[in-house]
């Protein structure tokens, strides 16, 4: 049966669809085996039909060109480390202090489109360890699925602490049309969020999303440059007679 109206896939979805790593997919692009479309914002989009054609090819050469095999376990879609992670944490620290909130946290999507704990401010380390191992609060998941802010009662979600009061708000992190994760803030006890404060939180979420997206773009650029370097090195090697 012919499939109709198959939607275009993001880069992480295409990697999962093919069962290859990001660098392998980029190597396939460099070799001209896959040509993605581009959104107005410059994001790659992949036609499933083109990916099906690629699946019928021998990918061993492409994986060797990329210099790696697909990872055995899914890694985070955007692995925030070093300075980008510090910038994100500093952003939510300042946001928490500005709004006199109790705590703030960031959840990010992995390549299987599941939310995972990333970083936080104002939450005890013992509780951070628990939250990192548990499923995200239901309000955080709703904000992600609905692509809209979600105001919730911390006491019902037991977030960030089982004894937390006040009011919480979860705002999706979006870059272009691509979901990246969720920003969560919890206010002080018995204090409602003002409309102006909600606007500040949404603005902060917008810029944090841009920062995370930029980190992904830099990682993609580094991968492409390494791939091109390997291609040039392979071309410069003398052929065996």
Q: Which CATH architecture has domain 11-72?
A: Orthogonal Bundle (1.10)
> Which has the closest alpha carbon to 212: 134, 119, 144?
119
How many other C-beta atoms are found inside a 10 Å radius of the C-beta of residue 86? Answer: 12
Q: How high is the pLDDT of residue 178?
A: 84
At 198 the pLDDT is 93
pLDDT of residue 64: 47
In the chain, which residues have pLDDT < 70?
Answer: 1-6, 31, 55-79, 216, 219, 234-241
Q: How far is CA 136 from CA 107, 182, 210, in A?
A: 8, 10, 22
Q: Write down the domain spans for the chain.
A: 11-72, 82-217
Gap between the Cα atoms of 153 and 162, Å rounded: 11
The closest alpha carbon to 119, from 137, 134, 132, belongs to 132
CATH topology of domain 82-217: Beta-Lactamase (3.30.450)
Model pLDDT, residue 99: 93
DSSP string, 59-112: -HHHHHHHTSPPPSSPPBSS---HHHHHHHHHHHHHHHHHTT-SEEEEEEEBTT
- Tell me the pTM: 0.61
Q: Are 174 and 146 in contact (CB under 8 A)?
A: no
CA dist., res. 93 & res. 213, Å (int)? 20
């Amino acid at each position: 049966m012919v499939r109709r109206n198959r939607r275009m896939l993001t880069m992480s979805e295409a990697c999962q669809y093919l069962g290859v790593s990001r660098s392998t997919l980029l190597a396939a692009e460099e070799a001209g085996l896959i040509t993605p479309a581009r959104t107005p914002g410059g994001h790659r989009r992949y036609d499933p039909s083109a990916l099906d054609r690629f699946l019928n090819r021998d990918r061993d050469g492409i994986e060797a060109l990329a210099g790696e095999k697909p990872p055995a376990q899914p890694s985070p879609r955007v692995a925030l480390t070093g300075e980008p992670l510090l910038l994100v944490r500093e952003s939510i620290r300042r946001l928490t202090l500005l709004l006199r909130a109790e705590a703030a946290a960031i959840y990010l999507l992995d390549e299987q489109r599941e939310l995972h704990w990333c970083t936080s401010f104002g939450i005890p380390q013992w509780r951070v360890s628990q939250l990192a191992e548990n499923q995200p609060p239901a309000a955080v998941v709703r904000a992600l699925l609905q692509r809209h802010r979600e105001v919730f009662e911390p006491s019902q979600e037991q977030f960030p602490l089982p004894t937390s009061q006040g009011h919480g708000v979860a705002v999706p992190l979006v870059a272009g049309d691509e979901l990246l994760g969720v920003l969560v803030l919890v206010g002080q006890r018995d204090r409602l969020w003002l409309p102006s404060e909600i606007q500040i939180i949404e603005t902060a979420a917008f810029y944090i999303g841009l920062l995370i997206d930029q980190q992904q773009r830099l990682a993609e650029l580094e991968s492409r440059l390494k791939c091109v370097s390997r291609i040039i090195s392979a071309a410069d090697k003398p052929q065996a007679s």
